[in-house]
Amino acid sequence: MAVIDDALQGAIEADKAHVWHHMTQHKKFETQDPLMIVRGEGNRVWNQDGREHLDAVSGGVWTVNVGFGRTEIADVVRDQLVEMNYFAGSVGTPVGAEFARRLIEKMPGMSRVYYSNSGSEANEKTFKIVRQISHNHYDGKKYKILYRERDYHGTTITALSAGGQDQRKGQFGPFTPGFVEVPHCLEYRSQFGESTEYGIHAANAIEEAILREGPDTVGGLILEPITAGGGLIVPPAGYWERVQEICKQYNVLLIIDEVVCGMGRTGTWFGYQQYGVEPDMVTMAKGVASGYAAISCTVTTEAVFDMFKSDPDDPMSHFRDISTFGGCTAGPAAALKNMEILEEEQLLENSTRMGEYLHGKLHELAEKHPCIGDVRGKGLFQGAELVVDRETREPMPESVVQAVVADCMKESAVVIGATARSLEGFNNTLCFAPALISSTSDMDELVAAVDGALTRQITNK
């Protein structure tokens, strides 16, 4: 164990005294130190004791797509900050314009980029766009926004109003009115019994909600391309085609939340591109600059954008929204270099290849461990749902799942994730989302850690 120097010891004390950690019960820090991550390189991070870890969750929440320690991103950000660090988003900047151009090249059918600085905020913009279109074009009637059970779109009260995770919402109500839930599309937990057309059933449930609410009242539908924190749900066959049809039929704007799946995570630039979807709006954040700067984007079609310039004499008709830090140039500067790295190092292709490798290895692991009920994922975004009994599919208790996560960390120095305090009774899916630079030997190390943890925490218990 490395000796902790005075500066680091001081930082640990300051953290214990003053930092309020996200999603953390702090009582335990009265008797133990918090984990501090002090350095990163590639897909490895080092803690305060100097211990090296394989980070199989890209910075904890699937963000650092190109890996840690990228001096080339740091360099362009530094140069940009010296040149011109900030101006409000009501004007243009060369770097903001250039990233928008490069981004739109990757998104055929899309046209406009609105900058802000978190996934929640990017999603809030889409809700405001739907609401303003409703006011300006539909007498205020088409204001409702549908969201899906198990999906997550952010942490603000209105993003939570569109959240399909009961535990994330718990104690934060009352919520913003006008948000309506539709059923999830996880076939392993089918709500429609056994069906050869589960995807169609799940999508038709959206149509039912639209008809129930009244099509002239529903303005938008927000969906994750692959549900992330809600249990890694890969949409079933036929689902997206039918969703697209329904949105077109009832004139409902289709909003895709790419905050997690965007920028190559699943092997294509965006998750929706795996399914041939044509969205009206797309949001993105985490992987856009791999955490080297805070940036999020709300991207729309020209048709959506056009609705805000139809009446230039009306001072209320343009999109009256602002985001102070949406004007930080570090975001697009880092995002441009991030995109260049993804292309030059062919990391989308690597995500597909490594994802298939990991998927296969997880299936092999399932042959050995009956507690793995289902393996799901696309590219380097993979999950394993743990069950007490494969026949009944009773979910593994969250405490056991968390013990598996902790075991990987303690025994193997591998950081993995799991659905956590999201869904009452269903926080039972392990999550693996390493940086897109990862190799087969990294995947072997990851799977060996999970194998050991399942053996110690479940099989041999």
| Binding pattern for the stretch 219-238 against ligand PLP, x by CB under 6 A and - elsewhere | -----x---xx---------
Going by C-alpha positions, the residue among 368, 326, 342, 336 that lies closest to residue 455 is 368
Going by C-alpha positions, the residue among 387, 435, 453, 408 that lies closest to residue 63 is 435
Lateral strand order in the sheet of 44-47: 37-41, 44-47, 52-55, 414-415
Q: Which is nearer to ligand PLP, 275 or 357 (CB)?
A: 275
**DSSP letter string over 262-279?**
TTTTTSSSSGGGGTT---
- Using CB atoms within 10 A of its CB, is residue 212 exposed (0-12), middle (13-18) or buried (19+)? exposed
Q: Which residue is nearest to ligand PLP (CB)?
A: 119
Tokens encoding 167: 């535990």
Stretch that binds ligand PLP, among 253-261, 332-340, 341-349, 377-385 (CB under 6 A): 253-261
What's the min distance (Å) between Cβ of 255 and ligand PLP? 11
State the amino acid at position 36 in one-letter form.
M
Alpha-carbon distance of 52 to 230, in angstroms, equals: 29
Site for ligand PLP in 298-317 (CB under 6 A): none
| Binding pattern for the stretch 138-177 against ligand PLP, x by CB under 6 A and - elsewhere | --------------xxxx----------------------
Contacts of 146 (CB under 8 A, 6+ apart): 179, 180, 181, 182, 206, 209, 210, 218, 220, 221, 222, 252
Q: Which is nearer to ligand PLP, 224 or 280 (CB)?
A: 224
| Binding pattern for the stretch 271-290 against ligand PLP, x by CB under 6 A and - elsewhere | --------------x-----
Tokens encoding 169: 């919402």
Site for ligand PLP in 46-65 (CB under 6 A): 61
Q: Which is nearer to ligand PLP, 154 or 332 (CB)?
A: 154
Stretch that binds ligand PLP, among 24-32, 115-123, 175-183, 268-276 (CB under 6 A): 115-123
Site for ligand PLP in 339-358 (CB under 6 A): none
| Binding-residue total with ligand PLP (CB under 6 A) | 16
What's the min distance (Å) between Cβ of 286 and ligand PLP? 7
Radius of gyration (C-alpha) of the chain in whole angstroms? 22
What's the min distance (Å) between Cβ of 219 and ligand PLP? 20
Chain residues in the site for ligand PLP (CB under 6 A): 61, 118-120, 123, 152-155, 224, 228-229, 257, 259-260, 285
